[in-house]
Structure 1
Amino acid sequence: MIQEMNIFKLLAVILWLSIGLNTEAQDFNFKNWPEGKSPKEIGLRIAGKFLKTGHSRFGNTHPKNPPSYITYPDVCTWLGGMWFAEATKNKVLFRGFEDRFTPLFGEEKNLLPKPNHVDNNVFGSVPLELYMQTGKKKYLDLGLHYANTQWETPDDAKPKQKAYADKGYSWQTRIWIDDMFMITAVQAQAFRATKDEKYIIRAAEQMVLYLDKIQLENGLFYHAPQAPFCWGRGNGWMAVGMAELLRVLPKNNTNYEKIMFGYKKMMSTLLRHQTDGGLWRQVIDDDEFWLETSGTAMFTYAMITGVKNGWLNRKTYGASAKKAWLALTEYVNDEDNLREVCAGTNIKNSRAHYIKRPRIVGDLHGQAPLLWCATAFLRK
């Protein structure tokens, strides 16, 4: 009788341990999502919202005014939507994104951004993605125009821009952390589309320039040398820029190890600054700042990508990414808009400047990285 009771106790312990291990596994494995919070469900909502919404209006925000040009937040959301459609094999959804682009070859041609700034040239990422998913050369030609002009110094370039170009960097270099998505994204897309290594080589060299100049000892970045604040979304652009670059950068590239080291150093520090609720702050390392969602989504994407590619420890960073995602889903309202998104932010040497930034609902700066996260979870 005593032996039988001991066997039952042993079985109970085994069952308890099994449940515990399964629960722990769910914390860092990207499955078993609560109802309504899975990447596929959220991704479909955010993608659909974008397709039902007109082009955004920078500097021309009155609802009766037409948009002036396609802005980089539109680009980022458009790109994320097509990535998501590919990851879910949703051809109907993809056609929606392609149909949205078609007028830019005709009646909306005036909305094509001028290739004269990092925020404009990233537009080329969208037609390059369209080319890779359709094979239509018109998309390739348009996309490469933006990738190439990022390295073609115009006659009216300023002395500082010419100086960077003379050293082999993009003339659009300005040493703002935002640039390390805007530049590397279109160059990485051009490499994916053409397999021409010049695009990925120069993107990697550009990234190393920024790492050398502005990465701090703890792995984070100031917004710019003259703005010594670790602004959340700014660091998000850098985190995603490195992750996107490393996804396609050949391991034999001379800059691969340095970029990977910079990426891992940043991820390690981000892990320490994640709040108990799962989000990161508007200024990452200042506990008095508010919780901000766009930067959080970007860090989440970078961590998911690192886990999926084996760069980061799955148990540690997978749990962090899943915690962040579930927290982010709580900020998506009934109209499929992400809340607590920092408004577009220029550099300024003022703590008050960053803490007082408007908090926007449904801004594409937040919608885009939410789509990226959904895609990253679903990629094979």
Structure 2
Amino acid sequence: MKSKSNKNLWAITAISGMLLASCGTPDKYFQDFPEGAVPGEVGKKVAERFIEVPHQNFGRPGMPKRITYPEVCTWYGALTYAGEKRDRDLTEQLAKRFEPLFSSESHLVPLPDHVDHTVFGAVPLELYIQTRENRYLAMGRNFADKQWGPPEGPRVKPESHKYYDKGLTWQTRMWIDDMYMITAVQSQAYRATGDIKYMERAAGEMVVYLDALQRPNGLFYHAPDVPFFWGRGNGWMAAGMSELLRSLPEDNPDYDRIMKGYRTMMASLLKYQTENGMWRQLIDDPESWPETSSTGMFTFAMITGVKQGWLDGDIYGPAARKGWIALTGYINPNGDVSEVCQGTNKKNDRQYYLDRERMVGDMHGQAPVLWCATALLR
């Protein structure tokens, strides 16, 4: 009997092994990339390009008044890539770029008085995570805490107090872009400190945005009064949910609601991916042009979902792979990404979105490439 039992156990184990082998691992679609699409090489190229270029000013000449959010997002992406590669030299170069912000360029540090400014805190928090230098933690944590502090400064509006009284950040404005800007800095504060309040803040805020702005098809209008599914706007939501869920404990009361919103969005995006792997400037408009920043953000969200086990790897793995390979085809020899929609305000006009300038090397497009490279290496 014992011998027969052992044989049965061996047979069950063998069958289980074969089933697991046939299913593969989440990474099976993220290996053996063609030349020009190897994540480690692409990430290095785009990160080094970031170090080369001066502070950008939304495509305008001259220095910006403050570090802009596209630069913050690219800086953060370059740092996370360096961290995954354990490239200490690259981390040191990225820290060196930051150093003047403590002294000669301190005037370029944004005030934490708007979501586009407060996201800056994600960079010093990532520098702290990698270097353990307390000055980075102090700076970054200040940004995260100010976001939930009492409304103050000239940007305060009557509705700022209304949101603050509800336990939301006073910087709430109900634009879909916000759900990356807010979640990025709050998630980073949690990763740096382990203080769960940062995740609770961001999760509560995300649920409010999902309930108010997500459409039945899973996508998001640019704003309640702008009924267009703008690519990069939706990209901010996709990336923001991914960053948040990556660190949000599953026992958080908002976890299931956010996961539902995320999965509903991913299922819809799957339907609108073009044959060559891209997504469009207006996601559901077949006359709209393939756009790289949105493609990078959606690809990042899908890579993360497959790797974390939130999405079916055999359905979303091929889509994420196709998106990444298509995206890398838009990177020129200098490391600049082309076909990037310029910085865009909201407007209730389809042609406004179709006519947006297509930029080369704009950091709105550089950042998602680095996020994708990082996610592929995780």
Q: TM-score, normalised by structure 2?
A: 0.91
Match of 1:96 in 2: 93
1:114 aligns with 2:111: yes
Aligned partner (choices 141, 144, 156) of residue 144 of structure 1: 141
Match of 1:271 in 2: 270
- The amino acid that maps onto 1:220 is L
Match of 1:9 in 2: none
Q: Shift in Å at residue 316 of structure 1? A: 1.1
Aligned partner (choices 149, 152, 155) of residue 154 of structure 1: 152
Is the Cα–Cα contact under 8 Å of residues 113 and 153 in structure 2 kept in the other structure? no
Task: Tell me the secondary structure at the aligned position of residue 323 of structure 1.
Answer: helix
Q: What are the Cα deviations for residues 171-212 of structure 1, in whole angstroms up to 9, with x where unaligned?
A: 110110000000010001011111111111010000000000
Match of 1:287 in 2: 286
1:125 aligns with 2:122: yes
Aligned partner (choices 72, 80, 83) of residue 83 of structure 1: 80
Distance of 1:276 and 1:25 partners within structure 2: 25
Q: Shift in Å at residue 33 of structure 1? A: 1.1
Task: Tell me the secondary structure at the aligned position of residue 301 of structure 1.
Answer: helix
Match of 1:203 in 2: 202
Distance of 1:26 and 1:146 partners within structure 2: 35
Match of 1:29 in 2: 29
Q: Shift in Å at residue 25 of structure 1? A: 9.5
1:54 aligns with 2:54: yes
Match of 2:39 in 1: 39
Task: Tell me the secondary structure at the aligned position of residue 172 of structure 1.
Answer: coil
Match of 1:213 in 2: 212
Is the Cα–Cα contact under 8 Å of residues 28 and 322 in structure 1 kept in the other structure? no
Distance of 1:266 and 1:150 partners within structure 2: 27
Is the Cα–Cα contact under 8 Å of residues 239 and 298 in structure 1 kept in the other structure? yes
Q: What are the Cα deviations for residues 9-57 of structure 1, in whole angstroms up to 9, with x where unaligned?
A: xxxxxxxxxxxx99x9999521111123201111111001000011112
Distance of 2:270 and 2:183 partners within structure 1: 24
Is the Cα–Cα contact under 8 Å of residues 221 and 228 in structure 2 kept in the other structure? yes
Is the Cα–Cα contact under 8 Å of residues 28 and 315 in structure 1 kept in the other structure? no
1:367 aligns with 2:366: yes
Task: Tell me the secondary structure at the aligned position of residue 200 of structure 1.
Answer: helix
Is the Cα–Cα contact under 8 Å of residues 27 and 319 in structure 1 kept in the other structure? no
Q: How many residues align?
A: 355
Distance of 2:333 and 2:246 partners within structure 1: 34
* 4+ long deviations beyond 3 Å: 24-28
Match of 1:17 in 2: none
Task: Tell me the secondary structure at the aligned position of residue 233 of structure 2.
Answer: helix
1:185 aligns with 2:192: no
Distance of 1:52 and 1:279 partners within structure 2: 28
Distance of 1:35 and 1:355 partners within structure 2: 32
- The amino acid that maps onto 1:135 is R
Distance of 1:114 and 1:269 partners within structure 2: 37
Give % identity.
55
Distance of 2:153 and 2:75 partners within structure 1: 32
Aligned partner (choices 47, 70, 75) of residue 73 of structure 1: 70
Distance of 1:233 and 1:245 partners within structure 2: 18
Q: Shift in Å at residue 58 of structure 1? A: 3.9
- The amino acid that maps onto 1:311 is W
Gaps of 5+ in 2: 1-20
